Structure 1
Amino acid sequence: MVVRAVVFDIGGVLEVTGPMEFESRWEAALGLPAGTFDAKLTDIWQAGAVGTVTEAEVHAAMRDRVGLTDEQVEAVMADMWREYLGTPNTELIEYARTLRPAFRTGILSNSFVGAREREQAAYGLTDLVDDCVYSHEVGLSKPDPALWALVCERMGVAPGDLLFIDDVPRLVDSARAYGMNAILFESTAQTIAGIEVWARS
């Protein structure tokens, strides 16, 4: 089987990220009961992931529902984005750059409204690949089969011609069930070696 396109997840793959702990930190700092942010904003976080709210609406919900000041909202969101962006996986980013033009390359990310602009400013990810598919821009999240179909369409290949890299086992399993080839990211060296097996065969 010949791979014609290689598609990367971002968080935990192209970006080195840890657990999102900004909510618990700020709940403690502001004297709020544990779980306040989730209790009051779960629908906002979910809506932000599929682009049905704007960043301004996210900020307004934090003010109106949690009772934060504008300054507190800005500080909480700055902390959120710091965790969200993590640090660049420089070795994998540089390797991904070498795949073009022999292969079409892409990004497929379960994202949050505002992510494209910040990831581009920080790491230049949209320049790295041929196309970026962000959940908040297309209104679909992994593992929705409609999103697998969309990324294949955007890459211009059949599922069996696409290799997808993600760090979440259930998403890798879902991609494979759809008919795509997939690698579970466990380390940068392991992932590059796996891509080489598929891409250079």
Structure 2
Amino acid sequence: MAIRAIILDIGGVLEHNPSLGFDVKWEPEFGAGWPDRVGAVIEAGVIGAITLEQVHQQAAAALGVSVDRFEAYMDDAWIEYVGSYNAEVAEYWSARRAEGYVTAIISNSFVGAREREEAAHRFSELTDILVYSHEVGLQKPDPAIYELCLERLGMRPEETVFVDDHEPNCEAARALGMAVVHFRDTEQALRELDEILRENR
């Protein structure tokens, strides 16, 4: 069956997101092991169970700091989250879209991500469908988030190829019958994408 849609992850694929060490930077103020104390709050933000304002309030309470201090941390964290634009991947993807392939995104995201990533990278101009975990209440590798994307595309798994930098997310897509590229670097991923598209026309 011919491939009709190319589905990409954002972080680590459409964005370069190297660690900038913000957790360590804030450890003197928040305390050793502080990320563990806000883990449940962050998880709730990933699936949109709470608002960004509630994230700030609940995380600050868990850490025993003022809300404005956690907001200051988040200002730092958003820099790493948004990262830098992987122009080579985006240009390749846009060229395939111009050839007639449908484009989609499935991203494990965080409340507030759409606005920040749109301002930085304007993903809405690159993709036909954007599935953010915080907006749909599901996250990879839950098969339901892939199935939701497929439903919105109106396609069977075999008509799509999925690109992600985390193997568990790739494995979930394979299990559904999607073609998969495990992104390790840009050159490798685009080469494998070319091969899959060439073999499934």
What pairs up with 1:1-201 in 2 under 5 angstroms? 1-19=1-19, 21-28=21-28, 30=29, 32-39=30-37, 41-101=38-98, 102-201=100-199
Q: Runs of 5+ in structure 2 lacking a partner?
A: none
Q: Deviations over 1:112-157 (max 9, x none)?
A: 1111110000000121110100000000011111112111111221
TM-score normalised by L of structure 2: 0.93
Aligned length: 198
Q: CA deviation at 1:20?
A: 6.8
- 1:24 touches 1:35 (CA, 8 Å); kept in 2? no
Could you say what secondary structure the match of 1:13 adopts? coil
Question: Structure 1 CA distance, aligned partners of 2:20 and 2:151?
Answer: 32
- 2:41 touches 2:59 (CA, 8 Å); kept in 1? no
- 2:129 touches 2:152 (CA, 8 Å); kept in 1? yes
Question: Structure 2 CA distance, aligned partners of 1:72 and 1:89?
Answer: 31
- 1:20 touches 1:84 (CA, 8 Å); kept in 2? no
- 2:106 touches 2:146 (CA, 8 Å); kept in 1? no
* Identity score, percent: 42
Q: CA deviation at 1:43?
A: 1.1
Could you say what secondary structure the match of 2:97 adopts? coil
- 1:49 touches 1:135 (CA, 8 Å); kept in 2? yes
- 1:37 touches 1:66 (CA, 8 Å); kept in 2? no
Q: CA deviation at 1:104?
A: 0.5
Question: Structure 2 CA distance, aligned partners of 1:124 and 1:68?
Answer: 34
Q: CA deviation at 1:83?
A: 1.0
TM-score normalised by L of structure 1: 0.93
Moved more, 72-81 or 157-166: 72-81
- 2:138 touches 2:144 (CA, 8 Å); kept in 1? yes
Q: CA deviation at 1:45?
A: 0.5
Q: CA deviation at 1:199?
A: 2.0
Q: CA deviation at 1:66?
A: 1.6
Give the counterpart letter for 1:3 in structure 2.
Answer: I
Structure 1 segments (4+ residues) deviating >6 Å: none
Q: CA deviation at 1:175?
A: 0.8
CA RMSD of aligned residues (A): 1.4
Could you say what secondary structure the match of 2:50 adopts? coil
